[in-house]
Amino acid sequence: MTNNWLIGSNNRGKSRDLALCLAYYGLNAESYLSDADPLEFPTETTSSYVANAVTKAQFAAQKLQRPVIADDSGIELPALPDKFGVTTARDLGVQTSGGDRNAAIFTALAKVPNEQRQAVMRATLALAWPDGRTITAQATIAGYIAQFQIGHYSGGFDRLFWLPRYGRTLAELPDQWRLPLTHRGQAACKLVTQLRMMKG
Ligand SMILES: O=c1[nH]c(=O)c2ncn([C@@H]3O[C@H](COP(=O)(O)OP(=O)(O)OP(=O)(O)O)[C@@H](O)[C@H]3O)c2[nH]1
């Protein structure tokens, strides 16, 4: 496939992870920041991952005049239905760094019984072309919030996101296991499949 896909995100950790996920399915993409000044993306909605991802992708595709893939993602905790989800970044504080974001999740769950520590991570990807055409893909991964952070293969929420089937956190799984399992990896698979179907 062509090499001209750009990732439209100001979050470097997310951009790295998304590039790995897309590469796993054969699509080479790089952060738009490797060749452009940071963009100020439009303010996100509080209700729709799809609308947020589409807005970011279309905005960047227009500005950069290149096809752009954007991601809106979040963590959903059924025990705390009014927190996180589509407003994860804002609930955690955009300026909060990775380790502190994870600490904030532990704090939020401090009074929740162990058997209610279920969690879902959701990723929505949008690929927009400069002429306005756009496709989207969404996927989730279900697991539990661990009692402590562990694992070094990846960072962020992966270090606290525990998968009962594997008895490990996502960050304890090497990329060849982790990428096809994660919300972002599965969404990347769906997006690349759609793209291949469009190209015949
Ligand atoms: O370690 C993580 N693994 C994940 O899978 C994940 N999904 C969501 N998050 C958190 O939620 C915000 C998303 O917000 P978000 O999608 O609006 O992106 P963002 O604002 O960071 O960057 P941009 O892409 O909009 O420029 C991020 O900042 C993170 O704090 C994640 N953290």
What ipTM does this complex have? 0.91
The CB of 121 under 6 Å from ligand 1? The reply is: yes
Structure tokens at 177: 């296991």
Whole-number percent of the chain with pLDDT over 90: 86
Residue whose CA lies nearest to ligand 1 atom number 1: 156
The CB of 157 under 6 Å from ligand 1? The reply is: yes
> Residue 59 C-alpha to ligand 1 middle, in angstroms?
18
DSSP-assigned states of every residue in 95-120: T--HHHHHHHHHHHTTTS-GGG-EEE
Assess whether 37 carries a catalytic annotation.
no
Structure tokens at 143: 């697991």
Domain residue spans of the chain: 4-198
CATH code for the structural domain at 4-198 = 3.90.950.10
Q: Say how many CA atoms lie within 13 Å of 79 toward its Cβ.
A: 16
Query: Which atom of ligand 1 approaches the CA of 89 most closely?
Result: 12
> Residue 11 C-alpha to ligand 1 middle, in angstroms?
7
Encode pLDDT of 73-84 as tens digits: 999 999 999 998
> Sorting pLDDT into bands at 50, 70 and 90, what band is 1?
very low
Q: What is the pLDDT of residue 164?
A: 96
C-alpha closest to that of 113 among 147, 163, 143, 85:
147
> The tokens 């399915």 sit on which residue?
25
Residues ≥6 apart with Cβ < 8 Å to 87: 46, 74
- Mutate which of 6, 10, 11 for ligand 1? The one with the most ligand atoms within 8 Å of its CB, which is 11
